[in-house]
Amino acid sequence: MTTILHASHVTFGHPDQPLFTDWSASIPAGVTLVRCDESRGKTTLLRLLAADLPAQAGRLSLKGIQLEEHPAQYRSEVFYIEPRTEAFDQISPMDFFAKMATRYPGFDASKLPGLISGLSLIPHQDKPLYMLSAGSKRKVWIAAGLACGAAVTLIDDVFAALDMGSIEFLLAQFKICAQDTDHACIVAHYDLLEGVPCASIITI
């Protein structure tokens, strides 16, 4: 399998709580599950891989792009939105998608109608994001991630606050992502992704 993202000897932690020490992994194309219980470090790991949080030691390389040497180029190939962010609250989901389309050259807008419908976002697509529930906002971030075309898409707490219909729709989408040979979708969840053939599983 093609390696999309490689982490080498990554270290990060707090003075009273070391989280990752000399951690290395090769993340292939397809779907990778980051599996752990609550408050065990999965969000921190995703933020490290997204270069949203600086590691204290180690190196990250994405399709040969070294974060340390080319940080802007590295970040341009990673999609990550902190689920609880309020940074986009004043714009609508459609405006958010348009913003992501300008950020990611590979953004495939043709996927949006199916994602919006499958995630039950049609009634909310033109509302300001501050009017949406936590679950609906999460759906917006996930829809953008699945359409963005970035080399790596990172999705944290993927099913939190989602209805069963949306969960089943996303599992079907992840089955499609699992067949991708050029992109990696990294999903954080406490359990296995039912029916999804994961290329790798990282347990922390």
- End-to-end Cα spacing for the chain: 22
Mean pLDDT over 185-198 rounds to 96
pLDDT surpassing 80 at residue 39 = no
Distance from C-alpha of 199 to C-alpha of 32, rounded to nearest angstrom: 6
Q: What is the pLDDT of residue 191?
A: 92
Q: What is the pLDDT of residue 36?
A: 83
Q: What is the pLDDT of residue 140?
A: 98
In this structure, are strands 57-62 and 30-35 parallel, antiparallel, or unpaired?
unpaired
Contacts of 123 (CB under 8 A, 6+ apart): none
Mean pLDDT over 161-176 rounds to 97
Q: What is the pLDDT of residue 197?
A: 98
pLDDT surpassing 80 at residue 9 = yes
Q: What is the pLDDT of residue 21?
A: 94
- DSSP assigned state of 67: T
User: What pLDDT band is residue 17 in, cutting at 50, 70 and 90?
Assistant: confident
pLDDT surpassing 90 at residue 16 = no
Note the pLDDT tens digit of each residue in 53-112: 999 999 999 999 999 999 999 999 999 999 999 999 999 999 999 999 999 999 999 999
In the chain, the domains with their CATH numbers are 3-203 (3.40.50.300)
Distance from C-alpha of 125 to C-alpha of 96, rounded to nearest angstrom: 10
Q: What is the pLDDT of residue 74?
A: 98
Mean pLDDT over 117-143 rounds to 97
Distance from C-alpha of 204 to C-alpha of 200, rounded to nearest angstrom: 13
Residue recorded with tokens 């939190």: 160
Per the prediction, the chain carries an average pLDDT of 96
What percentage of the chain carries pLDDT values higher than 70? 99
